[in-house]
Amino acid sequence: MNGKLPPLSSSSEKKRLDAMKKYEIIKPYILEQKPITYISKEKHIPVRTLQSWVQKYNHQGLKGLIRKERSDFGKIRINKDISGEIERLILTNRRATITSIHRKICKFCEKRNLEKPSYTQVYSTAKSLSPALKQLAHKGRKEYQNSYDLVHRSEATKANEIWQADHTLLDILVFNEKNRLERPWLTIIMDDYSRAVAGYFLSFNAPSAIQTSLALHQAIWQKERKDWNVCGIPEKFYTDHGSDFTSNHLEQVAVDLKMNLIFSTVGVPRGRGKIERFFLTINQLLLQDLPGYIGNNSTKSHLTLQELDGKLSDFIVSIYHNRSHGTTKAAPIDRWRQSGFLPQMPESLEDLDLLLLNVAKARKVHPDGIRFQGLRYIDTNLAAYVGETVIIRYDPRDLAEIRVFYQDKYLCTAIAPEISDYTIDLKDIVSARNNRRRNLKKELTSTQTVAESIVMTKQNKVEGPSEKSKPKSKLKRYYNE
């Protein structure tokens, strides 16, 4: 055959088949030289039509036999004023039916002495409108952007190039320091390239600059667990426009650490789907199997925040980091390690504390040390500063030690001798204080201090919980050496 047909597509399939049928009809004339009149009588097709097919075939081949569309094919023959009014009614009346619009258009035409369109013409005009235009008019800009705007998906090319941060309210109820059930907040910092978790913070408090700073502190510094070596200062820190992320404090931290802050579009967090996917993984692979998960009718006793923290840490390091990720096709910890780079680290832990441990308090140095939260903190370097006011910074997750600064200069790390062998959470101290207050009401002769209460609780955990007591797991401490 002479000529070639256009590439196959759903819209041109019928035209291709029609062209092939025409060729089969005129093939006896082309190949066997049978008379046109004979073919006309046999196929009941006019002679002039057959002659036109033969002429087109000789000139263009099979392409010449394809039926050409009219120049106005698909266009609706309707007055421009009428079509404009139809479009206006459709875009301004979200729930209006084609029937009601047709009635309104007929009244519109009567007033202007215009020819009334048919129902089919109104229906065709409605169908010809762009779905994007209708969604913008009916549902607003935000819904339009979610469906039709082009999303820029940032992809890191190496570990620690981009870190993402976000908060979520976990779908689980755990005991707080008042022994009441409450849903905790989780702050996560994730490496964009490897999908490894660099740091996290678990708290009952709503997201704030403190939670973000503590999670970033853990993410940047070396971890106590040797199998969790994700650390360093990222080149870019990608977050939303929450007040905790856009605070002046975090901006100053970014300048000091030489870290660029990047914010997602206000109200459009679609560029951060990677960390949202991690939250879904937490729900599906960890929380659903724990007592207290919302949606489960479990009769088991609920966890404490410290126990949930321990399970979350074990899940991240032992399970999530070693599972093949659906997008990268590699385990997050292996992908973070394989680049073979040396992470950029702060000069010292004290410098990082000064930047990120946002929990700062002014305290006076007494002859017996610094008093804070019912505890006494001592260090030999404090002897020269008795009577002076210093700034203490501390991690609420571990009050066994505090960092002491004088005029923005690091002095020492003071410890509380009574609890120096334990990891003490601020919640532990609050709980011990509440228990002591309740005991004093029952027995006024009790002289047990808050520190003694905490030590007794910790010792009971080491020796084993009693039948009535509920076990608590220790919260992991940072690696400070």
With vertex at residue 451, the alpha carbon angle to CA 448 and CA 457, rounded to the nearest 5 degrees, is 85
Residue with tokens 């608590």: 472
What is the reported pLDDT for 188?
92
**Mean pLDDT of all residues belonging to the chain:** 78
What is the reported pLDDT for 479?
46
With vertex at residue 110, the alpha carbon angle to CA 106 and CA 115, rounded to the nearest 5 degrees, is 75
Least confident of 33-42, 288-297, 334-343, 351-360: 351-360
DSSP alpha helix (H) spans, 341-425: 349-356
CB atoms near residue 240 (< 10 Å): 20
State in Å, rounded, how far the first CA of the chain is from the last one. Answer: 83
Are residues 275 and 164 in contact, defined by beta-carbon separation less than 8 angstroms?
yes
My answer on whether 231 and 266 are in the same domain is yes
Instruction: Give me the amino acid identity at 234.
Output: P
Domain end call among 401, 419, 437: 419
Residue 104 inside a domain? The answer is: yes
pLDDT greater at residue 21 or residue 244: 21
Are residues 396 and 428 in contact, defined by beta-carbon separation less than 8 angstroms?
no
Residues of the chain above pLDDT 90, percent: 18
**CA atoms within a 13 Å half-sphere pointing along the CA-CB vector of 7:** 0
What is d(CA 451, CA 202) in angstroms, rounded to the nearest whole number? 24
Are residues 218 and 478 in contact, defined by beta-carbon separation less than 8 angstroms?
yes
Residue 62 confidence class, pLDDT cut points 50, 70, 90? confident
My answer on whether 172 and 303 are in the same domain is yes
What is d(CA 409, CA 390) in angstroms, rounded to the nearest whole number? 10
Domain end call among 390, 419, 448: 419
458 three-state secondary structure:
helix
Residue 118 inside a domain? The answer is: yes
CB atoms near residue 35 (< 10 Å): 11
What is the reported pLDDT for 480?
45
Domain that holds residue 55: 13-65
My answer on whether 310 and 405 are in the same domain is no
Domain end call among 395, 419, 443: 419
Asked if the model's pLDDT at residue 204 lies above 70, the reply is yes
What is the reported pLDDT for 261?
81
pLDDT greater at residue 276 or residue 151: 276
What is d(CA 313, CA 476) in angstroms, rounded to the nearest whole number? 9
My answer on whether 169 and 45 are in the same domain is no
Residue 402 inside a domain? The answer is: yes
What is d(CA 227, CA 343) in angstroms, rounded to the nearest whole number? 16
My answer on whether 177 and 306 are in the same domain is yes
My answer on whether 229 and 316 are in the same domain is yes
Q: Which residues are 158's β-sheet partners?
A: none
CB atoms near residue 258 (< 10 Å): 9
DSSP alpha helix (H) spans, 115-192: 119-128, 131-139, 141-148
Threshold 0.95, pTM exceeds: no
My answer on whether 204 and 104 are in the same domain is no
What is the reported pLDDT for 255?
78
Q: What is the mean pLDDT of residues 161-172?
A: 90
Residue 426 inside a domain? The answer is: no
Q: Which of 155, 358, 355, 395 is nearest to 254 (CA)?
A: 355
What is the reported pLDDT for 297?
67
CB atoms near residue 175 (< 10 Å): 21
Residue 277 inside a domain? The answer is: yes
My answer on whether 304 and 197 are in the same domain is yes
Q: What is the mean pLDDT of residues 91-120?
A: 88
My answer on whether 103 and 189 are in the same domain is no
What is the reported pLDDT for 361?
80
Strand ranges, E, within 255-374: 260-263, 360-366, 369-372
My answer on whether 169 and 309 are in the same domain is yes
Are residues 251 and 209 in contact, defined by beta-carbon separation less than 8 angstroms?
no
Asked if the model's pLDDT at residue 247 lies above 90, the reply is no
Least confident of 138-142, 159-163, 272-276, 435-439: 435-439
Residue 144 inside a domain? The answer is: yes
Q: Which residues of 422-453 are buried (b: 16+ CB within 10 A; e: fewer)?
A: bbbbbbbbebbbebbeeeeeeeeeeeeebbeb
My answer on whether 52 and 123 are in the same domain is no
What is d(CA 48, CA 58) in angstroms, rounded to the nearest whole number? 15
Residue 172 inside a domain? The answer is: yes
What is d(CA 319, CA 131) in angstroms, rounded to the nearest whole number? 44
What is the reported pLDDT for 429?
60
Instruction: Give me the amino acid identity at 34.
Output: K
pLDDT greater at residue 1 or residue 27: 27
Asked if the model's pLDDT at residue 1 lies above 60, the reply is no
DSSP annotation of 81 reads: H
Residue 353 inside a domain? The answer is: no
- Total domains, the chain: 4
CB atoms near residue 289 (< 10 Å): 11
What is d(CA 477, CA 224) in angstroms, rounded to the nearest whole number? 7
What is the four-CA torsion angle of 94, 98, 102, 105, rounded to 10 degrees? 30
* Maximum Cα–Cα distance across the chain: 126
Asked if the model's pLDDT at residue 100 lies above 70, the reply is yes
For residue 409, give the CATH number of its domain: 2.30.30
- The pLDDT tens digits for 396-434 are 767 788 888 888 788 888 888 877 665 556 666 666 656
Are residues 245 and 262 in contact, defined by beta-carbon separation less than 8 angstroms?
no
What is d(CA 29, CA 55) in angstroms, rounded to the nearest whole number? 12
My answer on whether 191 and 301 are in the same domain is yes
For residue 168, give the CATH number of its domain: 3.30.420.10
